[in-house]
Amino acid sequence: MANVIANETFFSLQRYAHKGLWKEGEPIWHPLLFLSRYLKETKLGRIEIKIPEGVFLEKKELISIGEGTVIEPGVLIQGPCIIGKNCTIRHGAYIRGPFVCGDSCHIGHSAELKHSILLDGACATHFVYVGDSILGNAVNLGAGVKCANLRLDRQEVAVQLNGKRVKTGLKKFGALIGDRSQIGCNSVLNPGTFFGMESFSYPLMNLSGFVPPRSQVSAKGIQPIEQKILEKLLCQSIITTPA
């Protein structure tokens, strides 16, 4: 299958510990097809923190957690899964493998994440659902955001790219969100949504299709972000790449 979008259009993988998930010549969503195999080929079971009482680890031998990560009581994690260094996982979060999370990520209260990939510094805050999705570096999902991953007719998810309908090979495929983008509270990303880097949506948006990089999405539609607004966001470190 031809690579219809360059990875660099959405993600910087230079520092990412799991950049091996992306294969040259494969589509940008290929890591979701490859994720289970990647985890089977990776040595798991290395937990570098003390697990607090009240944290539930299922298939502990298939879970790795990096040093400096804080996990609050009431969290349930099912392997196979990798959680990086210096992450924070809040009370009530539910993580279902296969799942890979980079360093310095934040997963909020009552968030549910399954069969997904988080790059460094990604934030899936409270009451979100992230299914079969990829979140780029320093992405922030506002409270209540849902990455819907299943079509109502249960058919294979296809995406609209360059004016063409491209099949993904996935019956479950949520969203692909580029580096330093923000999704407003209580928004829904429909199956197969591509949200370009350094873009943001207002709250309560119904998102689908392809959102170009450096765009803003509101009730008025998709518009380019004005340069002065983009510079202000960068200066305020709202969409700054993590160190």
Pairing of strands 221-224, 215-218: antiparallel
Given a contact cutoff of 8 angstroms between Cβ atoms, the answer to whether 109 and 10 are in contact is no
Q: How far apart are CA 142 and CA 201, in angstroms?
A: 10
Catalytic residues: 126
Query: Cβ of 163: how many Cβ atoms within 10 Å?
Result: 5
